[in-house]
């Protein structure tokens, strides 16, 4: 549909493309840099009076209502049609149409046309429609349409027009309106703040910052997303009040642009859809080739043109695997169900496999990799850094809690803290409880509650008498409390705040519970600790206290907090505490698993580079020992510009730098760094990163939870949203939802995806194999004029009956080797169905099966009197209704009906033979490399399938009435065994084939040996030559010298393009990035797996 539109109006498409490019650019808001007056002038508004009603009405007409254009929803019937006519179905429809065409030709030319083609056409149509309905309902069930953007629009807004405050519908807000918001409101449009009182907004859905940001009228940053004086449409005001001028409304707001961008993005075809397309091409190719060949043969043999056309159609249709559509759908559904059980909800059935093909994961940080909850990570007291336990289940390390300094620090942290637990959560573990208060205070609260017991009791014992809340000029917060000791009438002053400010106010420091003067040495060690914790990306707070002298501040002293009448100097420094949003426990392991599965994990976050890098190191996205350019520079003590960027495998890229990069530079970074962190990225940049990866041929998965992730989620090959913390928008844009928000579930997804890809391959190989014994009877019928050995009905009984359950049961097959230890498949090379699979299925196993079927066919005819010798050329008489005395080899004479019964018995026997040879085939298809004896027969569904197909075959053959209903006749018991030798042959043949493959993993007949040489003059040229196993092992022990590499004689050379890799032979794959070559060896030589060769730079 979209294509058609595009063709008919190219200008429209161009315009659309331009719009999308425009949307991908950064937010064009500039008002934050203007003064308030300039702003007012720009919008013809007044800072006190607001707009006039007339102006507002005029603007409303000019700009339209302040609401988001809902994303164009596809009507249900189009979705249904997509299921009905998409991908595989089109093959079956073509088959059905050809059948009807053939029947029409027959009906027009023959008196009594055989109904076969008509029935086949009908059955094909029914199969498509039924499967289409099935997958439609399956998807409708998992993807409920959430019109979430609509829900995000605030209902009411308080505006000032002509000096009057009025509450209007948020849709009527126009640019230039003066708007007031207070805590709890949703921001009605993008606002330039003109005045604010303790206003904080929650921007997490837009930028990924986990904590509320304060708003004020001052411009603090050039970037509109970071400056303090802009509040964004549909974010929440958490506390305080603010007044602002509306600068953008509706789709022009930052959120609106993201929404438009997201809904405008076309996500490409899923990898499995591409594979199925490729498969259809192959099958169609084979079908048309066979059809044309036999059409020509038929014409040469003297058939009429019409007959030949009917044969042509018949052969093409016979190649259509009728049951495969249903099999694939069921297999995918089963996997989707299995994944849902493991907390991966798949919205689009085809996306089930995508994670398995994924080669790059772009993960958001906040909420995906981290817990999205500030937690105390480190403390510094007694001149020592102590590590706090940040794990979700408190399984981490603990620290020495006996020190008196810790007691003092804990007391300060507990008292100088306004956060409280919300009521009624006593049963919950402390970390799970909800708190009221800001993120860092809550972190402190939980930390103290965990290590020292009830904070509430501490506070009760130390009654608060005065308090100065945090503000941005002081950068500290203090409170004054009574002491625990009722006899002690002194007051306790506790203070926390920015460490350097706190240190400035201190003259002493507590060490091991004793006050000591703050000397230079102490100050330096404080600085070191502060730098170190800051370097970990943690937010550091300093704590100090003072027991106020009783003579100056006697009991009942009136502390005045507005006009401070007490000392806030010469305090006693207690310690530092630092907080971070810690990584989820399961993430490092999951990242490691992705790594070993050859998946590149990139972090893309809106957060600060230092925090991002710290988390990246924490979870292993930047692995131990890998350095960024900056790290190398600081280690070697040289300027960053002198470091060769090729030496650094890791890199951290800031959003502002990303803006400056050209496409080539971007590709270069993505290609040459294995460990990348993007920090401070905007939603548009996330999208650009995803597109960059896709340009390099990667299949990209994006995980995220915020609105800011949604364009990237949509663009990615598979978008993974978080089920609990994720915004509705992100869930809607995603293809998969992690119900437990656990990044580790992605590993499950990858595993299941890879498994289903392997197993689909097996299912398809199994199903395709029986195509040959189904087609060859018809071909021989045409060419050598024998009675038809297998009829349409029996073919359908195989494809839609006996083959179904075994084919589906292969979806339950366990993996052959550790699928998480191999590289992701290369979409250009590792196809679902390739020539090799067709060659084995059609050319080898299929042929054996056909012989098995023909053997039982000949047995039955011979035992009934028609020896093979008289069968050739008998067809014309055989199918002549008027010939009722056809003579057999023994001289007996047969009526038409009598010999037809024998023929149908042959069909039944052929059918049963296919079932018998398919026994062996399903066992053979279980594994692609391992022997069945290694793999075992643990797949219970498969065993059930074997019995089921046999029982079904017996049922079809022996049930009374089947002779009339399906023209199938009872078989003599001995006829069941005709195909058994062929069944055994299939098994033995394939076991030998697999044995050879295992022995010669390279797929060569001779003992395999490979080596790689690099031509120094061009890194794009690599040579493959012989070398022995021994030198491979040498490579492993790093003893293989360059000399031996280069001196080997070359066999053949391949020129490589900029991307992709080349397949040396079966399991050996050579990745070619211009400067680094990876040689991946198959998993059964684990000790040799994965080596990275670096090409000498030219």
Partner 1 sequence: MAKDAEKSTWKDFIWNSRTREFCGRTGSSWGLILLFYLVFYIFLAGMFCLTMYVMLQTLDDYKPTWQDRLGTPGMMIRPRGQAMEISYNTTNTETWDMYIKTLDNFLSPYNNSLQAEKNEECTPDQYFIQADSGDVKNNPKRSCQFNRTFLEKCSGLDDHTYGYQAGKPCIIIKLNRVIGMLPGKDGQAPFVTCGAKKEDSDKIGEVEYYPENGTFNLMYYPYYGKKAQVNYSQPLVAIKFLNITLNEDINIECRIISNNIPPGSVRDKFAGKVSFKLRINTKG
Q: Which residues of 990-1010 are buried (b: 16+ CB within 10 A; e: fewer)?
A: bbeebeebeeebbeeeeebbb
Least separation, in Å, of the C-beta of 715 and partner 1? 19
Nearest distance in Å: CB 886, partner 1: 9
> Measured from the CB atom, is 619 or 851 closer to partner 1?
851
Minimum gap (Å) between residue 847 Cβ and partner 1: 6
In whole angstroms, give the CA distance from residue 43 to residue 59. Answer: 10
> 309 or 914: whose CB is closer to partner 1?
914
φ, ψ at 432 (rounded to 5°)? -90, -10
Chain CA centroid to CA 328, Å: 20
Nearer to partner 1, 295 or 904 (CB): 904
Q: Which residues contact 27 (CB under 8 A, 6 or more apart)?
A: 224, 225, 254, 257, 682
**Residues with a known catalytic role:** 364
CB 1088 within 8 A of CB 1054: no
User: Minimum CB separation from partner 1 for residue 641, in Å?
Assistant: 33
SS (H, E, C) 528-539: HHHHHHHHCCCE
| Closest CA relative to residue 31, chosen from 254, 246, 242, 214 | 246
**Tokens of residue 183, six digits:** 């805590």
Interatomic CA distance for residues 235 and 238, integer angstroms: 9
Closer of 49 and 884 to partner 1 (Cβ): 884
Residues 937, 940, 942, 945: is their CA dihedral positive or negative? positive
- DSSP-assigned letter for residue 824: P
Nearer to partner 1, 531 or 1051 (CB): 1051
Contacts 24+ apart (CB under 8 A), 830-835: 831/275, 831/278, 831/279, 832/272, 832/275, 832/276, 832/278, 832/279, 832/757, 832/760, 832/761, 832/764, 833/275, 833/278, 833/279, 833/282, 833/761, 833/764, 833/768, 834/282, 835/282
In a 10 Å sphere around its CB, with 0-12 CB exposed, 13-18 middle and 19+ buried, how is residue 42 labelled? middle
Smallest separation (angstroms) from partner 1 to the CB of 1016: 21
Q: Which residues bind partner 1 (CB under 8 A)?
A: 843-844, 847-848, 851, 854-855, 858-859, 862-865, 867-868, 881-885, 887-899, 901-902, 972, 981, 985, 1052, 1054-1055, 1057
855 versus 987: smaller Cβ distance to partner 1: 855
Sign of CA dihedral 934, 936, 941, 946: positive
CA distance 1033 to 1023: 19
Specify the residue, 89 or 918, whose C-beta has the smaller distance to partner 1: 918
Complex with partner 1: residue 596 or 877, whichever CB lies closer = 877
CA atoms within a 13 Å half-sphere pointing along the CA-CB vector of 672: 19
* DSSP annotation of 649: S
Shortest reach from residue 1057's CB to partner 1, in Å: 8
Could you tell me the smallest distance in angstroms from the CB atom of residue 1095 to partner 1? 21
Count the neighbouring beta carbons within 10 Å of the beta carbon of residue 183: 15
Q: Using CA atoms, how far apart are residues 380 and 967, in angstroms rounded to an integer? A: 87
CB-nearer residue toward partner 1: 517 or 891: 891
Q: How far is the CB of 827 from partner 1 (least distance, A)?
A: 15
Residue among 375 and 769 whose Cβ is closer to partner 1? 769
Total Cβ atoms within 10 A of residue 931: 13
Q: What is the DSSP string of 145-181?
A: ---HHHHHS-SEEEEEETTEEEEEEGGG--TT-EEEE
Contact 356, 757 (CB under 8 A): yes
How near is the Cβ of 1056 to partner 1 at its closest, in Å? 13
Q: What is the C-alpha to C-alpha distance for residues 968 and 794, in angstroms, rounded to an integer?
A: 8
Cα distance between residue 862 and residue 853, in whole Å: 14
Closest approach of partner 1 to the CB of residue 996, in Å: 12
CB of 1058 to partner 1, least distance (A): 10
Least CB distance from residue 904 to partner 1, whole Å?
11
Q: What is the DSSP string of 707-773?
A: GGGHHHHHHSSEEEEETTT--HHHHHH-SEEETT--THHHHHHHHHHHHHHHHHHHHHHHHHHTHHH
The answer to whether the beta carbons of residues 213 and 238 sit under 8 Å apart is no
Residue whose token pair is 């023929």: 903
Alpha carbons within 13 angstroms on the beta-carbon side of residue 40 total: 13
Strands 700-704 and 360-363: parallel
> CA 706 to CA 571: how far, in whole Å?
43
- Report, in Å, the least distance between residue 893 CB and partner 1: 4
Cβ-based nearer residue to partner 1, 236 or 983: 983
Please, which residue, 641 or 869, has the CB nearer to partner 1? Answer: 869
Beta carbon nearer to partner 1, 582 or 846: 846
Distance between CA 998 and CA 993 in Å, rounded? 9
């Amino acid at each position: 549909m979209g294509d058609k539109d595009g063709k008919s109006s190219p200008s429209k498409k161009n315009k659309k493309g331009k719009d999308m490019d425009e949307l991908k650019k950064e937010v064009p808001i500039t008002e934050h840099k203007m003064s308030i007056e300039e702003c007012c002038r720009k919008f013809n508004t007044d800072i006190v009076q607001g707009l006039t009603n007339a102006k507002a009405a005029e603007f409303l007409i000019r700009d339209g209502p302040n609401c988001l254009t809902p994303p164009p929803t596809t009507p249900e019937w189009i979705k249904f049609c997509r299921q009905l006519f998409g991908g595989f179905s089109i093959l079956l429809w073509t088959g059905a149409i050809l059948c009807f065409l053939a029947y029409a030709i027959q009906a027009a030319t023959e008196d009594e046309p055989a109904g076969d083609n008509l029935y086949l056409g009908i059955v094909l149509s029914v199969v498509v429609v039924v499967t289409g309905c099935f997958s439609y309902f399956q998807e409708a069930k998992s993807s409920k349409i959430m019109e979430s953007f609509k829900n995000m629009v605030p209902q009411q807004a308080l505006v000032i027009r002509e000096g009057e405050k009025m509450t209007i519908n948020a849709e009527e807000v126009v640019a230039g309106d003066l708007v007031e918001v207070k805590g709890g409101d949703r921001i009605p449009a993008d606002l330039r703040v003109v005045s604010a009182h303790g206003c904080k907004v929650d921007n997490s859905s837009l930028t990924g910052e986990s904590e509320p940001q304060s708003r004020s009228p001052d411009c603090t940053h050039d970037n509109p997303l970071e400056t303090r004086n802009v509040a964004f449409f549909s974010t929440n005001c958490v506390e305080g009040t603010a007044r602002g001028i509306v600068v953008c409304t509706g789709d022009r707001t930052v959120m609106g642009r993201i929404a438009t961008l997201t809904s405008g993005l076309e996500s490409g075809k899923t990898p499995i859809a591409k594979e199925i397309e490729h498969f259809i091409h192959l099958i169609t190719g084979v079908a048309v080739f066979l059809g044309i060949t036999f059409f020509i043969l038929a014409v040469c043999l003297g058939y009429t043109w019409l007959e030949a056309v009917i044969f042509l159609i018949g052969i093409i249709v016979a190649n259509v695997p009728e049951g495969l559509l249903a099999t694939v759908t069921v297999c995918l559904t089963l996997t989707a169900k299995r994944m849902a059980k493991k907390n991966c909800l798949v919205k689009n059935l085809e996306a089930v496999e995508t994670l398995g093909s994924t080669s790059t994961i772009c993960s958001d940080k906040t909420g995906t990799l981290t817990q999205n909850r500030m937690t105390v990570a480190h403390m510094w007291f007694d001149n020592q850094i102590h590590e706090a336990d940040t794990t979700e289940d408190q399984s981490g390390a603990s620290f020495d809690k006996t020190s008196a300094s810790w007691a003092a620090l804990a007391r300060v942290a507990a008292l100088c803290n306004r956060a409280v637990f919300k009521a009624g959560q006593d049963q919950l573990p402390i970390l799970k409880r909800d708190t009221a208060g800001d993120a860092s205070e809550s972190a402190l609260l939980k930390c103290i509650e965990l290590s020292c017991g009830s904070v509430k009791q501490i506070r009760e014992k130390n009654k608060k008498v005065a308090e100065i809340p945090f503000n941005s000029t002081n950068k500290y917060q203090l409170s004054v409390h009574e002491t625990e000791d009722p006899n002690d009438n002194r007051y306790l002053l506790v203070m926390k705040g920015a460490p350097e400010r706190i240190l400035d106010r201190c003259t002493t420091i507590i060490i091991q519970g004793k006050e000591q003067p703050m000397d230079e040495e102490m100050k330096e060690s404080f600085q070191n600790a502060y730098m170190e914790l800051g370097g970990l990306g943690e937010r550091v707070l300093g704590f100090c206290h003072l027991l106020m002298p009783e003579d100056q501040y006697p009991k009942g002293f009136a502390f005045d907090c507005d006009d401070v009448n007490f000392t806030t100097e010469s305090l006693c420094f207690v310690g530092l505490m630092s907080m971070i949003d810690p990584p989820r426990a399961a993430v490092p392991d999951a990242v490691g698993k992705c790594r070993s599965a050859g998946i590149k994990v990139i972090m893309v976050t809106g957060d600060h580079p230092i925090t991002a890098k710290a988390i990246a190191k924490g979870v292993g996205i930047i692995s131990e020992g890998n350095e960024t350019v900056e790290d190398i520079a600081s280690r070697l003590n040289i300027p960053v510009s002198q470091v060769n960027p090729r030496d650094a495998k890791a890199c951290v890229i800031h959003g502002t730098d990303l803006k400056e990069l050209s496409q080539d530079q971007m590709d270069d970074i993505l290609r040459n760094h294995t460990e990348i962190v993007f920090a401070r990225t905007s939603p548009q940049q996330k999208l650009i990163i995803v597109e960059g990866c896709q340009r390099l041929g990667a299949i990209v998965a994006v995980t995220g939870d915020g609105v800011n992730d949604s364009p990237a989620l949509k663009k990615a090959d598979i978008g993974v949203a978080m089920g609990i913390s994720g915004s509705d928008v992100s869930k809607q844009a995603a293809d998969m939802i992690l119900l437990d928000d656990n990044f580790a579930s992605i590993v499950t997804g990858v595993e299941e995806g890879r498994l289903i890809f392997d197993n689909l391959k097996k299912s398809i190989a199994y199903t395709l194999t029986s195509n040959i014994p189904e087609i060859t009877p018809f071909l021989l019928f045409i060419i050598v004029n024998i009675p038809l050995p297998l009829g349409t009905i029996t073919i359908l009984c195989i494809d839609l009956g006996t083959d179904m359950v075994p084919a589906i049961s292969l979806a339950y097959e366990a993996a052959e080797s550790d699928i998480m230890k191999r590289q992701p498949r290369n979409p250009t090379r590792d196809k679902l169905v390739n020539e090799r699979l067709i060659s084995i299925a059609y050319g080898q196993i299929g042929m054996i099966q056909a012989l098995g079927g023909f053997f039982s066919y000949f047995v039955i005819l011979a035992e009934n009197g028609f020896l093979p010798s008289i069968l050739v050329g008998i067809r014309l008489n055989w199918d002549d209704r008027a010939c009722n005395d056809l003579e057999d080899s023994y001289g007996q004479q047969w009526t038409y009906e009598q010999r037809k019964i024998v023929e149908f018995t042959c069909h039944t026997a052929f059918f049963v033979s296919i079932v018998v040879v398919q026994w062996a085939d399903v066992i053979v298809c279980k594994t692609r490399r391992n022997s069945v004896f290694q793999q075992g027969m643990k797949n219970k569904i498969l065993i059930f399938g074997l019995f089921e197909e046999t029982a079904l075959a017996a049922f079809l053959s022996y049930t009374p009435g089947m002779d009339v209903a399906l023209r199938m006749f009872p078989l003599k018991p001995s006829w069941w065994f005709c195909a058994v030798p062929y069944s055994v042959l299939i098994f033995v043949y394939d076991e030998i084939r697999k044995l050879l493959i295992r022995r010669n993993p390279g797929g060569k007949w001779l003992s395999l040996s490979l080596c790689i040489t690099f031509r120094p003059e061009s890194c794009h040229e690599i040579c493959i030559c012989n070398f022995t196993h021994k030198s491979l092992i040498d490579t492993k022990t790093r003893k293989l010298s360059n000399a031996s590499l280069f001196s080997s004689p070359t066999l053949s050379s391949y020129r490589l393009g900029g991307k992709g890799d080349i397949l040396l032979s079966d399991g050996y794959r050579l990745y070619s990035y211009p400067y680094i070559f990876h040689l991946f060896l198959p998993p059964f030589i684990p000790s040799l797996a994965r080596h990275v060769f670096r090409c000498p730079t030219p």
